[in-house]
Amino acid sequence: MTNPLAQLSSNGVSIWLDDLSRTRIQSGALKALIESRSVSGVTTNPTIFAGSIGKGDGYQDQVAELAAAGASATEAIFEITTRDVADACDVFKGVYEATSGFDGRVSIEVEPGLANDTAGTVQQAKELYAKVARENVMIKIPATKAGLAAITEVIAAGISVNVTLIFSLQRYREVIAAYMAGVALAKAAGKDITKIHSVASFFVSRVDTEIDKRLNQVGTSDAQTMRSKAALANARLAYEVFEQEFANSDWAELENMGANKQRPLMASTGVKDPALPDTLYVTELVAPMLVNTMPEKTMEAVFDHGVVPADSIHGKYEEAKLVLHTINAMGISYDEVTDLLEQEGVEKFIVSWNELVDSVSAALEAAK
């Protein structure tokens, strides 16, 4: 009998693990997930590395070497995280080759403090790409206004990008436009555009968390009936945007030259509200060409008791539009919510980055 994760994969959803640590790589546990859990990629962020490096497991020897060399905390983070990502890329090399580069991807993020600095983001993206030195790495760039210009420039340089922190449909359209512009520039510069891939990470659960809080403040019984509906509606409409934007003639021309569609990726798919099914943001977002990056807890929940439909997105666009329209009519501004979530998303990663700097600084000091 096919397990739910294998079923999800066969229904067209690529399963990526939203976690990485050196012990997971060195123990063989990461490689084992390819077979046992149908995992075909990995995403990381400053919060994940703050957790894994903070625990210290597997990092002591490299920290000691870096301390002896007089490395700063920022230099040490660069060396440590790029080594983990390069090693994880090697683990997924077979998947990368078997899927023509669509999967087998490992993502590493530019420093969150660069979120509003286009030039700084481009420079660091190139540095990370050169240091990891693996074709299957993806550089994560946030979908801020400054990030959009950076996405185009980094794609134009022939580097694959995971665009992160997307909350609104309008911003998602801008992300797709930035990707297409980058591919066109790469082609004009003589780059092999068949090697350029991208995913657009659309954040799911945080939308419900913020909108449900506001629905509670509205306080009516009608408002209560709309709880926990906005995130799925938003994510489903993002898939509609994906279908619309990649059906236009400009894209068709690029695709005929060998360009790859930027795939939508569902991120932040761990359920925050304990009253909701713990598989909600996975099983209710099933469609071809989709990626879902999951924390291990969510992945295990789907494996254990997930009921995976053939498709839970198509045929639900009108219902999704009605959900967002109804919530808006209650005085909850979609634009205000998504702008806030983008700002908070950057701020949360900056907090995690600072925690990472503090823990690495302490480890370097202790190793001297």
CATH code for the domain of 106: 3.20.20.70
Rounded to the nearest 10°, the torsion over CA 122, 123, 124, 128 is 100
**Domain hosting residue 344, numbered range:** 4-367
For residue 353, the model assigns a pLDDT of 94
Query: Is residue 98's pLDDT more than 90?
Result: yes
For residue 355, the model assigns a pLDDT of 93
C-alpha pair distances (Å), 189 with each of 126, 160, 237: 17, 16, 34
Q: Using CB atoms within 10 A of its CB, is residue 6 exposed (0-12), middle (13-18) or buried (19+)?
A: middle
Number of structural domains found in the chain: 1
Written as six digits, the tokens of 211 are 């909108």
Mean pLDDT value across the chain: 97
Residue 60 sits at φ, ψ, to 5 deg, of -60, -45
For residue 55, the model assigns a pLDDT of 85
Active site residues: 140
Residue 57 confidence class, pLDDT cut points 50, 70, 90: confident
Taking the alpha carbons at both ends of the chain, their separation in whole angstroms is 54
Q: What is the pLDDT of residues 240-292, one digit of tens each?
A: 999 999 999 989 999 999 999 999 999 999 999 999 999 999 999 999 999 99
Q: What is the pLDDT of residues 167-207, one digit of tens each?
A: 999 999 999 999 999 999 999 999 999 999 999 999 999 99
Query: Is residue 54's pLDDT more than 70?
Result: yes
37 DSSP 8-state letter: S
Q: What is the pLDDT of residues 80-94, one digit of tens each?
A: 999 999 999 999 999
Residue 7 confidence class, pLDDT cut points 50, 70, 90: very high
Q: Averaged over 10-38, what is the pLDDT?
A: 97
Nearest-angstrom CA–CA distance, 172 and 177 = 9
pTM of the model: 0.97
C-alpha pair distances (Å), 67 with each of 54, 62, 156: 16, 8, 37
Closest C-alpha to 197, from 260, 151, 243, 137: 260
Q: What is the pLDDT of residues 344-353, one digit of tens each?
A: 999 999 999 9
Tell me if residue 349 falls in helix, strand or coil.
helix
Residue 368 confidence class, pLDDT cut points 50, 70, 90: confident
Closest C-alpha to 233, from 247, 212, 251, 250: 212
Residue 331 confidence class, pLDDT cut points 50, 70, 90: very high
The answer to whether 46 touches 356, Cβ cutoff 8 Å, is yes
Query: Is residue 1's pLDDT more than 70?
Result: no
Nearest-angstrom CA–CA distance, 69 and 234 = 49
